[in-house]
Amino acid sequence: MPTDKILLLGAGGHAKVVLDAIIAGGRTRADIDVVDDRPQLQGRDYLGGPILAREASTADLFHVGIGVGRVRELPFGELAAALHVPFTVLHPAAVISTFAVVGAGSFVAALAVVGPMARLGESVIVNHGAVVDHDCVVGAFTHIAPHATLGGSVQIGRRVMVGAGANVLPGVRVGDDSTIGAGAVVTRDVPSGATWVGVPAAPLSRRPQ
């Protein structure tokens, strides 16, 4: 029988933030099946309710509450293929332009800002206080960490991690599977698969050890 319950996959730290946001949006803990595939966690209390095995959930909606994009992508695809429907979580204290597009299953945390004509792909995380400014494009399964800022017209690939407090200047492109270190200031394009750190940001391999 169809249900409007939400399957929240993952019982780590990030899922706590997502669970809190869902409740802030008007749901109750009883509306949410927190699921984790690790048997040692199943049955434990998790913010007022038990952690369940995946097969114990009766939910049709789902959200993957795992912070790492390359880990989040596989279960997202599995749940979607099983005809579950991605549930997008927007904290009521987030500021999201009417003209922005937020992809299915994404999470926008409290005090985050998503500007006009910005586009977020599937299962993107825009964490606390982060800014995705006008005309940005953020690829699926990317994580914009707390207080990171993307200037206008930035393009971010898939499965990218933009670290806490980092700044990506307007018009810069960051390739798939890249990592931007916490506090970095990115002034030029970053190739796929790279890790850039520092002010101004440069490839990690070029930094003194």
152 and 111 part of one domain: yes
Residue 12 neighbours by CB under 8 Å, 6+ apart: 65, 66, 67
Residue 83 has what pLDDT? 85
The three-point CA angle 159-126-185 to 5° equals 75
Q: Considering only CA atoms, which of 165, 161, 166 is closest in space to residue 139? A: 161
The one-letter code for the residue type at 144 is: I
What is the CATH classification number for the domain harbouring 121?
2.160.10.10
Domain count, the chain: 2
Per-residue DSSP letter, 44: S
Asked which of 87, 107, 126 is the last residue of a domain, the reply is 87
Give the pair of three-digit tokens for residue 142. Answer: 């990317």
Phi, psi for 166 (deg, rounded to 5): -70, 155
188 and 104 part of one domain: yes
Is-contact 66 10, C-beta < 8 A?
yes
Q: What is the pLDDT of residues 185-204, one digit of tens each?
A: 999 999 999 999 999 999 98
pTM of the model: 0.95
Q: Considering only CA atoms, which of 80, 118, 84, 126 is closest in space to residue 100? A: 118
Question: Is residue 18 situated within a structural domain?
Answer: yes
Give the pLDDT band (50/70/90) at residue 209.
very low
Residue 207 has what pLDDT? 47
Res. 208: pLDDT tops 80: no
Domain of residue 77, residue span: 6-87
Q: What is the pLDDT of residues 129-182, one digit of tens each?
A: 999 999 999 999 999 999 999 999 999 999 999 999 999 999 999 999 999 999
161 and 100 part of one domain: yes
> At 16, which helix (H) or strand (E)?
helix 13-24
51 and 108 part of one domain: no
Give the pair of three-digit tokens for residue 80. Answer: 């979607």
Q: What is the pLDDT of residues 39-57, one digit of tens each?
A: 999 999 999 999 999 999 9
Q: Considering only CA atoms, which of 161, 157, 194, 158 is closest in space to residue 172? A: 157
Question: Is residue 176 situated within a structural domain?
Answer: yes
Residue 119 has what pLDDT? 98
Residue 206 has what pLDDT? 53
Phi-psi region of 169 (alpha: psi -120 to 50; beta: other; left: phi over 0): beta
What is the CATH classification number for the domain harbouring 14?
3.40.50.20
Establish whether the linkage from the previous residue to 200 is cis, with ω within 30° of 0: yes
121 and 146 part of one domain: yes
Question: Is residue 55 situated within a structural domain?
Answer: yes
Asked which of 70, 87, 104 is the last residue of a domain, the reply is 87
Q: What is the pLDDT of residues 89-145, one digit of tens each?
A: 999 999 999 999 999 999 999 999 999 999 999 999 999 999 999 999 999 999 999
- Please tell me the distance from the alpha carbon of residue 157 to that of residue 137, in angstroms, as a whole number: 8
Asked which of 43, 63, 87 is the last residue of a domain, the reply is 87
**Mean per-residue pLDDT, 1-16:** 87
Residue 71 has what pLDDT? 96
